Amino acid sequence: MTAHRGRDGLRKPDIVIAVCFAFDARPPAPPPDLLLPPIAGGAGPAQLELTSADGGAFSASLALSPDHHGAAVVILPDVRGLYPFYIELAERFAQAGHHAIAIDYFGRTAGLGVRDEDFDYMPHVMQTAVEQVQQDIAAAISALHDHTDATTVATVGFCFGGLQSFLAGTSPDLDLAGVVGFYAGLEGKRLGIRGPLERAGEIRGPLLGLFGGADKSITEDQVREFDRRLEAAGVTREIHIYPGAPHSFFDRRFASWHEACEDAWRRVLGFVEK
């Protein structure tokens, strides 16, 4: 078992969290009928340096839509932070009519910039606090308001980011229009926090959860229990499980899951447009 040093300087055991994508993974494109016509000479995503309320600086990638409709989107990556998959995903949302900003979690501990294949993410994940992530989301929302005409914002997260997306739904200060999680972590005990399963009654909703039926790290029983707790709390939600799909099925290299990817796109875009 490997170990890392915590903020107190003591060595702590590392915790293994499923990695969502290979470094060369790419997000599937939205269905063609949901895309806007291409704009000649359109600019690529803008790389930003943002500052949170606690003074922490972090990197973000902003993609602007030529014809925005519905909520803008804050993209919350998996454990590896801001790397190419999520920069491209922000562009995909922009092509489908939604301003989007993808953020990095690790500016406070790992410095600024896009993460590469060699980034040793786990020691930094273990130093990431929910409150800090929510401050970073607030800074990203402010950036969307500064750079775009967006009036409402939703979060879309993946794995670790899905957990953070759902927890963002517990914060009245963020005033989110909705929260989306792809194969979101539901239990927080491995990270030393109370996760979405434990805090389901605090989530304000609406919520969209998309899960793989063959996900070995997030079981169908956990998903069903999460749904039951959301229902008991009166949370407006949609939970969908793709039979047989693995963790991280949302990857255009996985041709066998193209139907699940297309369906997921339609559900997410329909959700954020409401």
Greater confidence (111 vs 27) lies with 111
Distance (Å, rounded) from C-alpha 155 to C-alpha 165?
6
Q: Please tell me the least confidently modeled range out of 41-55, 126-140, 176-190, 226-240.
A: 41-55
Extract the tokens encoding 177.
Answer: 């229009």
Q: Does 12 have pLDDT greater than 50?
A: no
pTM (two decimals): 0.89
pLDDT of residue 254: 67
Q: Please tell me the least confidently modeled range out of 87-101, 122-136, 181-195, 246-260.
A: 246-260
Q: Per-residue confidence at 40, pLDDT binned at 50, 70, 90?
A: very low
pLDDT tens string 126-150: 999 999 999 999 999 999 999 999 9
Please, what's the b/e burial string for 221-242 (b: 16 or more CB within 10 A of its CB; e: otherwise)? ebbeebbebbeeeebebebebb
Q: Per-residue confidence at 1, pLDDT binned at 50, 70, 90?
A: very low
DSSP per-residue string spanning 49-67? EEE-TTS-EEEEEEE--TT
A 10 A CB-CB count for 141 gives 20
Q: Does 39 have pLDDT greater than 90?
A: no
Distance (Å, rounded) from C-alpha 249 to C-alpha 258?
9
Number of alpha helices (DSSP H) and beta strands (DSSP E) in the chain? 7, 10
What domains are there in the chain, each with its CATH number?
A: 45-273 (3.40.50.1820)
Strands 153-158 and 100-103: what pairing?
unpaired
Q: Per-residue confidence at 29, pLDDT binned at 50, 70, 90?
A: confident
Q: Please tell me the least confidently modeled range out of 42-56, 158-172, 258-272.
A: 42-56
pLDDT tens string 47-81: 999 999 999 999 999 999 988 888 999 999 999 99
Distances (CA, A) of 45 to 52, 84, 91, 95, 101: 21, 11, 7, 12, 9
Q: Per-residue confidence at 200, pLDDT binned at 50, 70, 90?
A: very high
pLDDT of residue 14: 36
pLDDT tens string 88-125: 999 999 999 999 999 999 999 999 999 998 899 899 99
Mean pLDDT of the chain: 88
Strands (E), 14-143: 46-51, 57-63, 72-76, 100-103
Please, what's the b/e burial string for 44-79 (b: 16 or more CB within 10 A of its CB; e: otherwise)? ebeebebebeeebebbbbbbbbeebebbbbbbbbbb
Q: Does 13 have pLDDT greater than 70?
A: no
Q: Does 252 have pLDDT greater than 70?
A: no
